[in-house]
C-alpha cells in the first residue's frame, strides 16, 4: 500500500478528477484537490505533497507554471503532467525542460497511471 503518501491533484475537469480520485484513493493515497493553478500554488506549501499530478490547461496558472513552481521550491517532489491527446507536442517538451518527471496522455489507462505514480512516489 501507499503508507499515506500525499498526492496533490490539479485538475479542472470533473470527470477526470473523479476518475483520478477513485483510482488513487483505492490505492490508499491521501489526496488533496486543487481546481485551478492558483489554488494549487497556495496548497503546495500547506500540504507538502509527495507527488503532484497536474493538468496542463488550467484556469489562472497552467500546469507548466505549477511544474516550474514545484521544481524551484520543492526539488525532490515529482510532478506528472496530464494532457489531452492532440495538445501541443512542445507542451510535453516544455514540461520536461521545467523538470516534470513524467507525462501521461488523457484518456489514460488506470493501471498505467498507478504504475507511474508508484514508480515516482516510492523512490
Helices 110-121 and 14-26: crossing angle in degrees, nearest 10, is 60
51-84 confidence digits (pLDDT tens): 999 999 899 999 999 999 999 999 999 999 998 8
pTM of the complete model: 0.93
Q: What is the CATH number of domain 6-121?
A: 3.40.50.2300
Domains in the chain: boundaries = 6-121
Amino acid at each position: 500500500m501507499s503508507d499515506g503518501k500525499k498526492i496533490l491533484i490539479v485538475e479542472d475537469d470533473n470527470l477526470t478528477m473523479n476518475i483520478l480520485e477513485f483510482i488513487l484513493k483505492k490505492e490508499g493515497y491521501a489526496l488533496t484537490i486543487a481546481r485551478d493553478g492558483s489554488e494549487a500554488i497556495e496548497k503546495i506549501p500547506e500540504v507538502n505533497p509527495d507527488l503532484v499530478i497536474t493538468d496542463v490547461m488550467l484556469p489562472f496558472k497552467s500546469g507548466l507554471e505549477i511544474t516550474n513552481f514545484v521544481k524551484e521550491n520543492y526539488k525532490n517532489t515529482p510532478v506528472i503532467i496530464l494532457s489531452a491527446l492532440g495538445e501541443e507536442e512542445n507542451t510535453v517538451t516544455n514540461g520536461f525542460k521545467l523538470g516534470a518527471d513524467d507525462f501521461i496522455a488523457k484518456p489514460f489507462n488506470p493501471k498505467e497511471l498507478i504504475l507511474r505514480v508508484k514508480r515516482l512516489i516510492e523512490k
